[in-house]
Amino acid sequence: MKIQLSDHFTYPRLIRFVMPSIIMMIFTSIYGVVDGLFVSNLVGKTSLAAVNFIWPVVMALGGIGFMIGTGGSAIVGQLLGEGRQEKARRTFSLLIYVTVILGVLLTAFGLVILRPVAVFLGAEGQMLTESVAYGKILLIGTTAFMLQNVFQSFLVTAERPNLGLLFTVAAGITNIVMDWLLVGVARLGIEGAALATILSYVVGGVIPLVYFIVMRKGNLYLGACNIDLRALWKAFSNGFSELLTNLSLSLVNVLYNYQLLRLIGEDGVAAYGVIMYVNFVFISFFIGYAVGTAPIFSFHYGAGNAEELRNLRKKSVRLLTVTGVVMILLSEALSWPLTSIFVGYDADLFSLTLRGFILYSLSYGFCGFNIFASSFFTALGDGAASAIISFLRTLVFQLAVLLLLPLWLDADGIWLSVVVSEGLALIVSVLFLAAKRKRFGY
């Protein structure tokens, strides 16, 4: 039986609806993981460090796709809840066309600044050469990457979460197979890993674009649109927290790499990269849940259904609390085998990575709730609250703690900084949810 946004959501119905989004995000996180596995084991730890070093710069440029997807889907979802389907379709179409235009412009900009930025951040020698080579190829796929991020949200809003899952699984399989062929068989090194990732972006971003052009049925499809600057502003400002999150995480990752290079060297950057690969998979559950529930909140807020908003909020808090505990236990149990898969060939790097992973994974008890809180306010159209939570969580708290803790705890302070910053952000999230409950009726 098809589940619609207008339904009343019990636990089973809610889990069934969001599960495709969760699996979709897990497969999306696999892209970087697969690249890391092949590069680490078949090319070497310097190349692994180079990939991890330049990745945040490339992702910062593609982060606009998250902004358009989350902010735009909230606006479109509210329009659907109000019964304004034609307006919703035109707004959807406008946002997709703008995404394509911005993707082309950002690709050109990124190719110009990539090498100077890498030099500025401290890359040199082989690490500089390989960082730039990997980054230039990835930048070519920026438009497809942005489209993939946009459609991950809009396929849920279009009540097609299973189709979104299908596209993402196909993209993940493409990345795995092409990594094996280009890195493992053809021995193209990090350039092969980058090409494999671009091909997966095409499957995850371009094919859904064709789908929405051809399949002109349902509540959303691509067609004519108006140049509605007000709608663009609402979508951009509402989704700004997601862009801010992406930019902040990129900046923080750069600072992590800087601190690790200073305290440990290239091994520290490689270890952090491995931890981030595994971290992407674990937090993708929380991101997927946030993406999957956001259109439901937007719809019922647009429809004025306060009772269902309260129902969804309560169930979400309970589910995320239980999941956070499970994630900590699971990550601790899997820390040894997961670290072995990536860097088992180097005893010193293995020991460093294992300790970092054990400490870093304690943050899973807090981060899911913070991710949900930011997405929740975006879905309700309160971009300011969402942006404040994201800004404090991903930038202010992390930068402050990352600069201070290593002064007392050395490298352990780097791994624990995310735990402390997520704990501080949890306090902010709870305060916002309590303060705004009457305004939004949840």
Ordered by start, the domain boundaries in the chain are: 11-440
Angle, nearest 10°, between helix axes 347-360 and 306-343? 160
- 3-state SS assignment for residue 36: helix
DSSP conformational letter for 265: -
Question: According to the model, what pLDDT value does residue 164 have?
Answer: 81
Tokens of 119: 């030099």
Question: Could you give the dihedral angle defined by the CA atoms of residues 55, 60, 65 and 69, in that order, rounded to the nearest 10 degrees?
Answer: 100
Considering the entire predicted model, what is its pTM? 0.72
Contact 30, 197 (CB under 8 A): no
Query: Token pair for residue 231?
Result: 């709608």
d(CA 225, CA 340) in angstroms, rounded, equals: 52
Q: What confidence score (pLDDT) does residue 20 get? A: 84
Length of the chain: 442
| Cβ(193)–Cβ(115) below 8 Å | no
Segment-wise mean pLDDT, segments of 10 residues, the chain, 442 residues: 77 89 79 74 79 79 79 85 89 94 94 90 82 93 91 84 84 90 90 92 94 86 87 81 72 79 79 83 89 88 89 93 93 89 83 91 93 90 86 87 88 90 95 90 80
Question: Sign (positive/negative) of CA torsion 264, 267, 268, 271?
Answer: negative
pLDDT tens string 303-350? 889 899 999 999 999 999 999 999 999 998 988 998 888 887 788 889
pLDDT in the model for residue 241: 66
18/94 Cα distance (integer angstroms): 26
Say what the pLDDT of residue 311 is.
93
Distance (Å, rounded) from C-alpha 421 to C-alpha 123? 27
Instruction: Please give the C-alpha separations between residue 306 and each of 122, 290, 301, 442, in angstroms, as whole numbers.
Output: 52, 19, 7, 6
Structure tokens at 348: 């010193």
Question: Which amino acid makes up residue 291?
Answer: V
**Is the separation of the CB atoms in 254 and 56 below 8 Å?**
yes
**How many CB atoms are located within 10 Å of the residue 384 CB?**
13
Residue type, 239: G
Identify the residue whose tokens are 């300011």: 384
- Which residue, 253, 250, 286, 252, is CA-closest to 373? 286
Contacts of residue 437, defined as CB under 8 A and 6 or more positions apart, other chains included, come to none
pLDDT at site 437:
87
For residue 108, the model assigns a pLDDT of 94
Judge contact between 381 and 436, C-beta under 8 A: no
pLDDT for res 402:
87
Cα-Cα-Cα-Cα dihedral sign, residues 241, 247, 253, 258 = negative
Tokens for 413? 């302070």
Which ranges of 202-265 would DSSP assign to H, the alpha helix?
207-214, 229-238, 240-263
Residue 265, sorted as left (phi over 0), alpha (psi -120 to 50) or beta, turns out to be left
